[in-house]
Structure 1
C-alpha cells in the first residue's frame, strides 16, 4: 500500500512515543528522537510501500536502542496475560454453538483481538477485551460463509500470519475450530527481536501457542510483514506448500493486498486508521473478514 497523507504523522508519532516510553536517559531519548526523524525523512523519500517504510524506521531505531525492544517485550507479556484471563468468558459463550455459528463467532473473537495494536497513533488499544464488547462489534466486510465453505471439509494446510502478541491468544479460539474441522495450521511469528508489539517465537513460547498449532515457524525477518525479498528460504518453502494464508492485522493487509501469492488469502483485521479504511471502503473500528481467492 502506498503512503497516504496521514501516514508520516502516524508513524513518526508512534516511534517518538516508544522512545519516550523506553527506559532511556534524557540524552539518549533526545538522540533516539533525532534518529527517528532523520530515518523517517530518508525512508519516506526512498521507499514507496508503507510497511517497508515503517519496518525500516523501527528496525533502525530499535537496533541502536534495545531499550525500545525491552519496552515492547514487557508490554507484550502483559497483553498476553490479560488476553488469557479473558478466555474463560469467551469459551463459555462459544459453548453450545456448532457449525457455521461457532465458526463465525470464533472469527469475530479473532478479529476483535486486532484492537490490541499499539502501532496506530490515533488508536488506543483496550487494556482488555470483554466478551460483551466483542459480541457488539459488526462486520463491514463479511466473507465468513465463503471461508467456512472452503474449510469445512478439512484437509487444507493453512499458514497463519500472526500479528500482535495479545491478539494471538484470541486467534487460538478460531485456530482450534479450524483444526477441529480437520485442517492443519502452521503459525508464523516474527523473527527476534520482532516489530513493535507483534508476536515473536519467544512470545509464542511464553503464551503456550505451540500446543495450539500443528507447527510454529518464524519469517526469518523482523519487519512488519512478509516482505518476500527479505524473509528466509525456509519460510518461502512453507508459503509455497500452503493452501490458504490467513493474514491478521493491518500491516499484512497493507502489504499483501498488492502482492499476488497465487493462492487464497483471508484478511482478518480491524481498520484502525482512515487510510486503511478508505482502501477497504469500510468503516473504522469494524470487523473485516475478506477472502481473496488469488
Structure 2
C-alpha cells in the first residue's frame, strides 16, 4: 500500500484552509425547497381568496394543486389519503425558477398567510465547481453506503450516493454529482456553464425540526441543522490539487467504487479496514468544507424569503 506521510494537526488545518478558501471556488445555491404545514380547513380556504381557483387542478395524491411555472413554485393541499394528513396537509415546493423571477412577492404573500405554520421539510443545496467532474471524487464512509449511477442516451453519467428509495424520509441525505452542461445538452438546451461540476446535497428533515420563519430570518440554530448534515460529506473537488501519493491512493479507491466486482473483491480483503481508515484520513484533510461555504452564503440565499409585502394590496386576487 502506498505510504502516506502523517501530517501534524496544524498542517492539516493549514491544508484544509488553503483548499477551502482559495484553490476551489464554488457557487452555492438552493435548487429546491419543500415546505409543509398542518392547516385547518378554514385556513386552507383562505388560499382561495388570493389565488385564482381556475389555476387549480386535481392530481392523484392531492385534492388541490396550483403550479406556477413562471414564478417557480407548486402549492398542493389536502392529500386524498387522510392518514397522510396527520403531520401535514399543505405543501409548497419552491423550484429553481423562483430565484430567477422578479415577482417573488407573489409566493411570499401566499406563505405569509400563515407564515408561522410552515416548516422546512426538504432542502436541496447545490455547490458548483470549476473542476472537471471526472477528476473529483465522492468518498463513501463505508462500502455499504448505497450508490447508483444513471446514464442517459448520450452516455452522460449522474452519480447518486445514498438511497434513492428513502430519500424523502426524515434524516435522509442524498448526494448527487453531475455535469451541468451535459445535463442541459441531454434536455436539448444550450448551455455553457463555467462552474459545471455540480454536487447537489438533498436533505430531508423531521416535521417542525426547522421552522420556515427561523429559516427565512437566517437563524443560527435552524441553519446549524443543515450545516450538521453537510459536515459528514467527503468530497474531493480536484484530485490534481492533492499531493501525489494521496491523489494516487484516492484515484485507486475511485476505480474500486466504479466497479461492482472490485467492490465485492475489496470487501473480502483482510486489510480493507486499515486501508479505509487511511483513505478517510486523507479525504478529511482534503475534503471541500461544505458547511463553511454554506455558512458564508446563507444570508444571500435566504434574502428572497424575508417577510415583506410586494403585491398590490387593493386587489385581493394575485393571479
TM range (shorter): under 0.3
Indicate the structure with greater strand content. Answer: 2
Q: Structure 1 length normalisation: TM-score?
A: 0.23
